[in-house]
């Protein structure tokens, strides 16, 4: 018999994070230190301090830098619980893009780069951004269209270009920049966001409001960085992007699964209490079936996430698995949030509950880190290339 039970240590951690979110994070959800571009720095700092005191800060990061060193399966448990509140991932320091950037730095950075950038990130003392996406005709879903350049200048490089949809840009300390080096190709560079030659032109107005620093437009105009600022090897930027993006897609799934579960719990409670036509509305098939569909979507999304996490824990890159999990989870949690708005009726489109906020925040998940259509295209190409059983046995 296959044992699907969680190890006692993960069960204990799940309950610890659940209690922390309930008692110390959810009460701050209506804190006025939040705006159109995410929680303000003072609120982020308070949340991080609370998680630090609770011993829950950066559970994904390596212990030598101050984290808990959880496996990917362990992260699936912890991140879902953190995602139960829009502020939970901020408190535990597992929100995007910092979480993915920490993973990339752990995998690729030199010891000196880790001390300079990874340690303060893990400790929650600074934030970071990942500068890859560009306005047309630059790189978007197709990274080969990279337009930002890094021209050699002695033992330095001069970076020029423009990026947008750069999550966390406003207020970030570290930028990881993807740029094209002549005769070498896409390369990642590390830079202080306060450097001359970097300008955050504006923050873009978006549906979501949960990411500290919002989503910015960033210009690089002759940014001068030393060769020691190259992250990893020259010309290996696209390969490192996959090192970062496969786990980062999955951790998005984990966090948004927690948010969808929160919306479902709110809708479920309302369906038990609200009366119509002589009984609780959850007893009517129109509402009851939506709640049942929510249960199934949450279950399938969790299975897809856990399977991909297990593959990553075997040391595999899991590009295909992460694409599959990303499509399954992003579309499932969107359906859950949409149904919850419907179950709540008029309240579902107000700020009376957290559901409208989750609904607005969660929609973008079907787009960022690769829209569903791009992942479907990738999965279809793999299926056609690999063939099927009928072909193998023809």
pLDDT band at 368 (very low <50, low <70, confident <90, very high): confident
The pLDDT tens digits for 98-130 are 999 999 999 999 999 999 999 999 999 999 999
Q: Check whether 77 has a pLDDT greater than 60.
A: yes
Of the options 3.40.50.1820, 1.10.420.10, 3.40.50.1000, 2.40.110.10, the CATH number for the domain spanning 128-234: 2.40.110.10
What's the pLDDT band for 390 if we cut at 50, 70, 90?
low
Q: Which helix (H) or strand (E) segment is 238 a member of?
A: helix 237-273
The token pair that represents 263 in the structure block = 């919306």
Least reliable range by pLDDT among 294-303, 358-367, 381-390: 381-390
Taking residues 288-315, report their average pLDDT: 96
- Report domain 8-122's class: mainly alpha
Residue 29 has pLDDT above 60, yes or no: yes
pLDDT of residue 392: 46
Burial track 129-159 (b if 16+ CB lie within 10 A, e otherwise)? bbbbbbeeebbbeebeebbbebeeeeebbbb
pLDDT at 214 over 90: yes
Confidence (pLDDT) at 245: 85
Residue 389 confidence class, pLDDT cut points 50, 70, 90: low
| Model confidence band, residue 218 (pLDDT cutoffs 50, 70, 90) | very high
Hey, do 8-122 and 128-234 end up sharing a CATH topology, with the first three levels equal? no
Q: Where are the domains of the chain?
A: 8-122, 128-234, 238-392
pLDDT for 373 beyond 90: yes
Nearest to 241 by CA among 369, 98, 373, 75: 369
* pLDDT, tens digit, 9 for 90 and up, residues 335-345: 999 999 999 99
Provide the strand spans (E) within 227-301.
Answer: 230-231, 275-276, 279-280
CB contact at 8 A, 264 and 298:
yes
Average pLDDT over residues 260-282: 97
Distance of alpha carbon 270 from alpha carbon 342, whole angstroms: 11
- 264 in helix, strand or coil? helix
| b/e per residue 82-96 (b: at least 16 CB within 10 A) | bbbbbbbbbbbbbbb
Distance CA 153, CA 209 (A): 40
Distance of CA 364 to the CA centre of its chain: 11
Query: Which of 105, 74, 78 shows the shortest CA–CA distance to 89?
Result: 78
Burial 311-323 (b: 16+ CB within 10 A, else e): bbeeeeebebbbb
Q: How far is Cα 170 from Cα 223, in angstroms, rounded to an integer?
A: 17
Give the pLDDT score at 393: 45
d(CA 357, CA 359): 5
The DSSP symbol for 5 reads P
Please report, rounded to a whole number, the percentage of residues in the chain having pLDDT higher than 90.
Answer: 91
Q: Which helix (H) or strand (E) holds 17?
A: helix 8-20
Mean pLDDT computed over 266-278: 97
Is the pLDDT reported for residue 382 higher than 80?
Answer: yes
**Of 9, 115, 104, nearest to 64 (Cα)?**
115
d(CA 178, CA 110): 17
- Domain range 238-392, its CATH number among 1.10.10.920, 3.20.190.10, 1.20.140.10, 3.40.50.300: 1.20.140.10
pLDDT at 244 over 70: yes
Average pLDDT over the chain, rounded to an integer: 95
Label residue 77 left, alpha or beta by phi (over 0 means left) and psi (-120 to 50 means alpha): alpha
Residue 175 forms beta bridges with which residues? Answer: 129, 191
């Amino acid at each position: 018999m296959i044992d699907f039970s969680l190890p006692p240590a993960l069960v204990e951690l799940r309950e610890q994070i659940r209690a922390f979110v309930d008692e110390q994070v959810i009460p701050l959800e209506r804190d006025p230190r939040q705006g159109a571009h995410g929680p303000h720095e003072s609120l982020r700092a308070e949340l991080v301090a609370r998680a630090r005191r609770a011993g829950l800060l950066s559970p994904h990061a390596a212990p030598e830098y101050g984290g808990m060193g959880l496996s990917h399966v362990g992260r699936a448990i912890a991140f879902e619980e953190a995602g139960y509140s829009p502020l939970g991932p901020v408190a535990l320091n597992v929100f995007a893009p910092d979480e993915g950037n920490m993973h990339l730095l752990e995998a690729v950075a030199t010891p000196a780069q880790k001390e300079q950038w990874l340690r303060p990130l893990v400790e929650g003392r600074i934030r970071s951004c990942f500068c890859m996406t560009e306005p047309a005709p630059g790189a978007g879903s197709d990274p080969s269209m990279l337009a930002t350049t890094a021209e050699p200048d002695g033992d330095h490089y001069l970076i020029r270009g423009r990026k947008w949809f750069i999550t966390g840009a406003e207020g970030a300390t570290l930028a990881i920049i993807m740029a094209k080096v002549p005769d070498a190709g896409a390369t990642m560079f590390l830079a202080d966001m306060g450097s001359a030659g970097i300008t955050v032109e504006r923050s873009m107005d978006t549906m979501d409001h949960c990411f500290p620093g919002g989503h910015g437009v960033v210009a690089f105009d002759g940014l001068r960085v030393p060769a020691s600022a190259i992250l990893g090897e020259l010309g290996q930027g696209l390969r490192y992007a996959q090192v970062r993006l496969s786990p980062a897609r999955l951790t998005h799934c984990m966090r948004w699964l927690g948010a969808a579960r929160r919306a479902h719990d709110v809708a479920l409670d309302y369906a038990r209490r609200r009366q119509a036509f002589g009984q609780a509305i959850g007893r009517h098939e129109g509402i009851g079936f939506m709640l049942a569909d929510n249960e199934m979507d949450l279950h399938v999304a969790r299975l897809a996430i856990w399977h991909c996490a297990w593959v990553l824990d075997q040391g595999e890159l899991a590009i295909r698995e992460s694409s599959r999990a990303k499509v399954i989870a992003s579309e499932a949690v969107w359906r859950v949030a949409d149904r919850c708005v419907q179950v709540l009726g008029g309240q579902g489109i107000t700020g009376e509950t957290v559901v409208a906020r989750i609904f607005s925040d969660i929609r973008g998940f079907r787009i960022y880190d690769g829209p569903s259509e791009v992942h479907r295209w990738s999965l279809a190409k793999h299926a056609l290339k690999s063939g099927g059983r009928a072909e193998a046995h023809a």
